[in-house]
Structure 1
C-alpha cells in the first residue's frame, strides 16, 4: 500500500525542473508510504513518476518504486497489493529475470508479458497504478475492479497530472483547482463525491474496473472497462448456482477462506478490525481458523448508549481466542480528529463514521501494518435495512395515485414538526420503528418526502439523499448524472431489492465506504484489506438467488450461516448498528461554536457557493431540537471546513 503520482509535460522538459516538481508532489503523500520515497524522470518525454512506499512485501530495496522492467521498456508506480502474485509468478515464462519477491515486480512482469488488458484480467488484488511505455510513449492508468484504491487525474495548465490523492495534484505550480459547483450539489445529496467526478472542475477519478490510455497528454484519456459489475450481476441471473443452499454456503466459505488466506500474506505484522457484527466476525473467524497464533483484533467503544460496539466485539474475540485490544474513546479524543478531517480526506467527505474508523485504525497501527476489514457484506448479501424499508414502503404506497400521495405529503408538511411532536409523543411507543424515537414530528416530515417518489428507484434515491434538493443550496449548480440516475447503466435484475444492492455496490460502496477506509487507514500508514471484495466472491454472490440472501427481515443469510459455524449465534445476533458518533448532540454542545463560525451568514455570502437562508434555518431548527438535521449539517460543515483548509484551491469561480 503506497501513494503514487506523476506528470506528463508535452514536448519534454528540463530534468531538474521535472525532478523538483515530482518530488514536491510525492512529498504530499508521505502519510500513505512512510517507509521510503522514489522518483523517476524521462526528461525527453516530459514524464515524471513519484512513489511513497509502505513496505509490506519484500522489505528489501528490491521492492523500491518507481520500478523499471527488466528490459528497460516499462516504468511502473503502483499502489495496492496483488494477492495472487505467487501464482502469477509461476505462470510467467520460466526465463523471467527476478530481482526480489515483491508483488510489484510480478505485476510489472505480467504487464510486460501479457499486455495491459490480459494482465488485468488475471489480477486478484486492490490497486491503482501508472505504467509508462518508453518505446511507444504511452501512459496507462488502471484501477482495481471494485474501487478499493483511488486514482485522480486531470490537467494543470498544459501538464497532465495523476495521483492517489488530490493533494499531490495541488502541489503542481500550475494548479488552479476551481470548485465544481455541480459536483458540490451532488456531494450535498450523497455526503460524498462519486467517481468519475471530483470536487475540482476538470479533475476526475478513474472509475473502478477501468484503465485509461493516454498517447497525447493534451487530450482526454481513452477509457476501457475491463470488468463490469453490471455484466457480472446480469450474468449471475442467467448462470445461477447449480446446487442447493447448503452447497452454496460450503462453496462461499471455501472462497472466503481462500480470500482471507491470500490477504494474510505479509512480511509485517497483521491484524483485523472487529466490531462483533456478522461481517467482521466472519473474517476474523476465518483468519483465526488458518493461523497458528492468536490473531490481533481491534475495536473501540463509546460511552454513549447506542454507539458502543465494544462489548460485542470483546465477546466474539474471547470466543475465537484472538489477541484483542479495545479502547474506549472519550469525546475529547473524537473531537480532536475533526480539525484533521479536511487534510485526511482531501476533498469534502461527510460520513461521520469517518471519525471512529480513523480512531480504530490509529489504535491498530500501534502494533500492525496491515488490517483486514469486513466491509462489503451489506452490499453483496443484502444487509442494509433500506433494502427492507424501501421495498416495503413501495409496496405500501406504489399503488396509491401520485396526486393523492402529493396531497398527503403536503398536508403533513403544512403542520410544523413541533406540533406533530405534541401529537405523536404520547403514542410514539406504538408507532412503526422510525417514528418510535425522539422527535417523531421531525421523522414524520422526513418520511412524508418519500410519498412523492414516482418510481421504486426514485424512492431508493430519496432514502440515500441527505439534502433532497441540493441545487437550491448551491449557486448556479446543475446536479450531474450518476449511475444512480442513469437507467441505461442498470442491469436487468428483475427485483427492486437486487437493483438497490447493485447500485450500492457501484456507488455507495466504492465512493463512500472504501474512500472512508482508504483515507482513515492510509492517513496513518496502515494498509486495509477487504476479503469480501475479492472479485471471485462478488461474482459468486450474484449467482445466488436473492431469497437465499434476504428473507423476511433478515439479510446476509449466507454469511450468518458461515459465521455461526465458528461463533455462537447469540454473540452476533443483534440489531444492525452504524459505526457512528453522536454528531446530533455534539452540534448542540461541544461543536456548536465551531459549526456556528463555519455556517456564519456573512461568511457564506462572502464565499459565494451556498445559499445562507435555508442553511441558517436548518441550523436554528437543529439547535432548538425541533428537527434533527445532523447529517445535512455535517455535509455543509465538511465542505466549509475543507474550503477553509484546502491550499491552492484556486480563485472563487463567479
Structure 2
C-alpha cells in the first residue's frame, strides 16, 4: 500500500524541475507510505513518477518504487495490492520471466511488459491506483481498480498533467489555481459526498472506478471503462443464479473463504476490524478458520449505550477465540480529532462514522499494519434498510402523483418532534423515526428513480443551499429490469460505496499508516452476490440472508441474533457539549457564506441545542463544509 504522485510536462522538462515537483507532491503523502520514498524521471519525455511506500509484501529494497520492468519498457507507480499475484507469478515463471524479488509490484510490472496493460489488468484481482509509463510508445496510463477502493486524482492544464492519490498533492502544485467548484459542492449537500469525476476544486478530477485513462505525447487522451457496475448488473440479469439454498450457501462460503485467504497474505502483522455486525464477524470467522493462532481483532466502544457495539463484538471475539482489543472512545477523543478531519479528507465529507473509523484505524495501527474489514457486504448482498424498503417504495410510486406528493408535503409540514413522539409510542427505542418516515415519503414522491435513491440516502440538506445554486448530479444508466432491491444495490455500488464508504476508509486508514483490505469487495464476490435471487439476499424481513446463514454455522445463535445499532457516534450529544464551541464558531460564520443559507443553518443549530430534535446529521453536513472551507479551501 502506498501513495503515488507524478507529472508529465508535454514536450520535455529539465530533470531538476521534474524531480523537485514530483518530490514535493509525494512528500505531501508521506502518511500513506512511511517506509520508503522514490522518484523516477525521464527528462526527455518530461515524465516523473513518485511513490511513498507502506511495505506489506517483500520488505526488502527489491520492493522499491517506482519500479521498471526488466526489459526497461514499463515503469509503474503503484498504490494497492494484487491479491492473486502468486498465481500470476507462477504463470509468468512458466513463460520464462525471471524475478528479482517477490513483491506483487514486480509481478504487476512484468505482467504488463509481457502481456500488455489490458490483459494484465484483466487478470488482476486487487485494489489499486496505478500510473503506467510505456517508454517505447511514449504513453502514460492512469488506472483505478474496479470498485474504487483506491483513489486517483488528476489535473491537465497548460501542457502539464498532474496526478496523485490525494487532492492535497495536486493542490500543492496548482496553488491559487485550485479554486472551489460551486456545482460540485452543491452536489455534496445532495449526496453527503462529492461524486466522481468531480472534486471540490475546479480543474481537478477523480478517475472513476474501473476506468483507464491513456495519454499520448501529443496530448491526446482516451478514457474507457474496463469494468462497470452497469455491466455487472447486465451480466447478473442475463445469468441469474438458480441454486437450492444448500448449494448456494456452499459455493458462496467457498468463494468468501478464498477471498479472505488471499487477503491474509502479508509480510507484516495483520488483524481485523470487528464491529457488532454480520459482515465483519463473518470475515473474522473465516480468518480464524485459516489461522493456526488467534487473529487480532479491534473494536471501538462508546460510553453512550445507544452507539456502543463493543459488547456484541467482544462476544463474537470470545466465540471465535480472537486476540481482541477494545478502545473506549470519549468525548475528549472526538474533540482532539474532529478539527483535523477536513485536512484528512481534502473535501467536505458528511459521514459521521468517519470519526470512529479514524479512531479505530489508529487503534489497530498500534499492533498491526494490515486490517481486514467487512465493507461491501451491504452493497453486494442487500444489507441496507433501503433495500428492504425498495419493494414498498416501488409499489407506492405507482400510486397517483397527487397522493404521493401530498403525503410528502404533509410530512414536511409536521414538526419532527410530533412524528418522533408518535413513533416512540409504538417503538420506544427507534432512533430518529421522523427522519426514516421522511426518507420513505420523499422517495415515494420523487420524480424519477435517481431522485428516489437520493431521497433514501436521507441527506435532506439541499434546503441549506441558496436559491439558484445548481448542483452537479452525475447520471447513472442502469440496465432495464431486476428487482427494486437489486437496482438500489447497483446504485450503492456505483455511488455510495466508492465516493462515500471507501473514501472514508482509505483516508482514515492511510492517515494512520494502515492498510485496509475488504474481502467482500473481491470482484468475484460482488458479481456473485448480484446474481443471487431476491429471496437469497432478503428473507424474513432482514437483509444479507446468505451472509447471516453462513455466520450462523460459525457462531452461537445468541451472538448472531444480536441487534445491530449501526457504526455511528453520539455526535448529537457531543455537539451540545464538548464540541459546542467549535461548532458554534463555524455556524456563526455561515451567515456570510455564498453557497448555503446562514439563517437556515442557525435555525437547525438552535433547535438541536434546545433538544427539540436531533439535527446531528444535517449539522454535521454543514460543519464539515464550513470546517473544510476554513482550513483547506482558504476562501472567503
Give the TM-score normalised by the residue count of structure 2.
Answer: 0.95
Q: Deviations over 1:3-23 (max 9, x none)?
A: 000111122111112211111
CA contact (8 A) 1:159 1:217 kept: no
Q: Which residue of 2 aligns with 1:640?
A: 626
Aligned-residue CA RMSD (Å): 2.2
| In structure 2, distance between residues paired with 1:388 and 1:144 | 29
Deviation at 1:160, TM superposition (A): 0.9
Q: Deviations over 1:447-500 (max 9, x none)?
A: 654453245553332111413536x615763222324xx4xx112232111100
Q: Deviations over 1:403-449 (max 9, x none)?
A: 1333344345445446x36xx73x54444x5x975776677666654
Work out which of the residue numbers 492, 495, 507 in structure 2 matches 1:507.
Answer: 495
Q: Which residue of 1 aligns with 2:590?
A: 604
Deviation at 1:38, TM superposition (A): 0.5
CA contact (8 A) 2:57 2:267 kept: yes
- Range with bigger deviation, 31-40 or 537-546: 537-546
- Range with bigger deviation, 282-291 or 168-177: 168-177
| In structure 2, distance between residues paired with 1:437 and 1:248 | 34
| In structure 2, distance between residues paired with 1:56 and 1:26 | 19
Q: Cα–Cα, structure 1 residues 84 and 529, in superposed 2: closer, same or farther, change >3 Å?
A: same
| In structure 1, distance between residues paired with 2:256 and 2:431 | 41
- 1:464 maps onto 2:457 in alignment: yes
Q: Cα–Cα, structure 1 residues 450 and 89, in superposed 2: closer, same or farther, change >3 Å?
A: closer
Q: How does 1:353-392 map to 2 (within 5 A)?
A: 353-392=353-392
- Range with bigger deviation, 107-116 or 576-585: 576-585
- 1:193 maps onto 2:194 in alignment: yes
- Range with bigger deviation, 510-519 or 472-481: 472-481
| In structure 2, distance between residues paired with 1:99 and 1:631 | 52
- Range with bigger deviation, 607-616 or 228-237: 607-616
Q: How does 1:433-512 map to 2 (within 5 A)?
A: 437=430, 449-450=442-443, 452-455=445-448, 457-467=450-460, 469=462, 473-474=465-466, 477-483=469-475, 486=476, 489-512=477-500
| In structure 1, distance between residues paired with 2:635 and 2:450 | 38
| In structure 1, distance between residues paired with 2:511 and 2:337 | 12
Q: Deviations over 1:40-93 (max 9, x none)?
A: 111211111110000000000000001111111211000000011111011125
Work out which of the residue numbers 526, 539, 548 in structure 1 matches 2:514.
Answer: 526
| In structure 2, distance between residues paired with 1:222 and 1:496 | 34
Q: Which residue of 2 aligns with 1:147?
A: 148
Deviation at 1:614, TM superposition (A): 2.1
| In structure 2, distance between residues paired with 1:410 and 1:606 | 30
CA contact (8 A) 2:276 2:564 kept: no
- Range with bigger deviation, 555-564 or 519-528: 555-564
Q: Cα–Cα, structure 1 residues 163 and 400, in superposed 2: closer, same or farther, change >3 Å?
A: same
| In structure 2, distance between residues paired with 1:104 and 1:236 | 32
- 1:97 maps onto 2:98 in alignment: yes
| In structure 2, distance between residues paired with 1:325 and 1:412 | 44
Q: How does 1:559-638 map to 2 (within 5 A)?
A: 559-600=547-588, 603-638=589-624
Work out which of the residue numbers 516, 521, 536 in structure 2 matches 1:548.
Answer: 536
| In structure 2, distance between residues paired with 1:72 and 1:227 | 29
| In structure 1, distance between residues paired with 2:129 and 2:565 | 32
- 1:320 maps onto 2:308 in alignment: no
Consecutive unaligned residues in structure 2, runs of 5 or more: none
| In structure 1, distance between residues paired with 2:262 and 2:320 | 20
Q: Cα–Cα, structure 1 residues 30 and 578, in superposed 2: closer, same or farther, change >3 Å?
A: same
| In structure 1, distance between residues paired with 2:258 and 2:513 | 26
Q: Which residue of 1 aligns with 2:162?
A: 161
Deviation at 1:507, TM superposition (A): 1.0
- Specify the SS of the correspondent of 1:128: strand
Deviation at 1:308, TM superposition (A): 0.7
Q: Which residue of 2 aligns with 1:260?
A: 260
Q: Which residue of 1 aligns with 2:404?
A: 405
| In structure 2, distance between residues paired with 1:576 and 1:519 | 25
Q: Cα–Cα, structure 1 residues 546 and 366, in superposed 2: closer, same or farther, change >3 Å?
A: same
CA contact (8 A) 1:8 1:217 kept: no
- Specify the SS of the correspondent of 2:30: coil
Aligned residues: 635
| In structure 2, distance between residues paired with 1:374 and 1:409 | 35
Deviation at 1:588, TM superposition (A): 2.0
CA contact (8 A) 1:169 1:175 kept: no
Consecutive unaligned residues in structure 1, runs of 5 or more: none
Deviation at 1:268, TM superposition (A): 0.4
Q: Deviations over 1:501-555 (max 9, x none)?
A: 1111111111111111111111010000000111111111122111111024111
Q: Which residue of 1 aligns with 2:238?
A: 238
| In structure 2, distance between residues paired with 1:89 and 1:611 | 57
| In structure 1, distance between residues paired with 2:335 and 2:149 | 27
- Range with bigger deviation, 583-592 or 562-571: 583-592
Q: Cα–Cα, structure 1 residues 417 and 374, in superposed 2: closer, same or farther, change >3 Å?
A: closer
Give the TM-score normalised by the residue count of structure 1.
Answer: 0.92
| In structure 2, distance between residues paired with 1:361 and 1:168 | 22
